[in-house]
Amino acid sequence: MPQATKVFVNPQASLNLEGEFPSQEAFDFHKKLPGYQQSPLIDAPSIATTLRVAKVWVKDESSRFGLPAFKFLGASWAVYRALLKQIGGKIESWNTFDDLKERFASLKPLTLVAATDGNHGRAVARMAKLLGFDAHILVPEEMTQARIDAIKSEGAEVTVIHGSYDDAVAKSAKLASDKALVISDTAWEGYEEVPRWIMEGYTTILRELDAQLTEKNDTRVDVATAQMGVGGLATAVVWHYRRPELADKPKIVGVEPLVADCVLESAQAGHIVETPGPHNSIMAGLCCGIPSLVAWPIISKGIDMFVAIDDDWARESMRELAKAGVVSGETGSAGLAGLLALLKTDKADEYRQVLGLTPEAHVVVISTEGATDPEAYRAIVG
């Protein structure tokens, strides 16, 4: 049984956050895209039994617009907004990707550039292909070949960077030009608009979730989990569950790998700190050394508990999700993995009390990807 877990209960956590909360503009955009469908919401009684709670809902993001992860939601909205800004903020009405391709044709030749540790880069490359642009994706050297091949399958040029994801981000930033538009989900000084758009795109997951729970006549949510990485998805979760009009605000658990626990370390320090590499977790999408400047002010106040876990917890979580009928990759399973790890420590009873994980509790887990490395998935799950 895996044991390595680091936990930090956030003394700065607040149910009432200041600042601007996103509208549903990104959600409306996604619903208009050809191929849009809600991702499934899975009732997982076997996981509820494991966690000793009444209900576990799993939002299954293993197939978004034909891609095996949720990242297209952020990439598509950010690319659209960035291109709109490039041409002055307005385009004629549109209904298809061919329409959008025509509206943005005046920007050619144009390359969309992104650094990635997996799914974001592929999503940017897919958006570039749909709109008739080139794509140049930079990846860290520890990226598996399966994920590199998936990005190349979208027609993108892929450059392997000697170093970490954060090194790839730094190099991608230097490629920005009149004909190269950087679409990064990580923010840095002077580059904050695009990462915010990406995070706004992820709120579609939560808006769908609310509608699906309403359809099932079960809107109770006591605990929600969020994978952290640089903080993009976690920010979307915080935005959604800390919005002022929400009466009953659930506890939020943020999860990341032990070898890349930059958010937890930053929360403990009270300011952004960098976790040095190598960030060689199997939870590849979370192998980041520094939180996003845009995400940090939001997640540092909105997340109740930060959890850093070793890879064995992700493996166990993948198997638990498979039993519930959900195909979830290493990164995708991390949200549930954090809860499994929390509840199998010597402080499990204390953590249950902090989070309100009673036998009557209802839990929401987002499985953010499918089997993005099929060979690794088979080796872990069978």
> What amino acid positions are annotated as catalytic residues?
71, 117
Which amino acid, one-letter code, is at 266? Answer: S
d(CA 230, CA 185): 8
| Residue that the structure tokens 């195909």 belong to | 327
Tell the burial category of 303 from Cβ atoms under 10 Å away from its Cβ (0-12, 13-18, 19+): buried
- Is the Cβ–Cβ distance between 363 and 224 less than 8 Å? yes
Please state whether beta strands 223-227 and 251-257 pair in parallel, antiparallel, or not at all (unpaired).
parallel
The values of phi and psi at residue 96, to 5°, are: -135, 170
Continuous segment of H or E residues that includes residue 40 = none
Q: What's the length of the chain?
A: 382
Cite the DSSP H helix spans in the chain.
Answer: 25-32, 45-51, 72-86, 97-103, 119-131, 145-152, 165-173, 193-215, 232-241, 262-269, 296-302, 311-323, 334-342, 348-355, 374-381
d(CA 360, CA 241): 20
Angle CA(372)–CA(305)–CA(323) in degrees, nearest 5? 40
d(CA 208, CA 239): 14
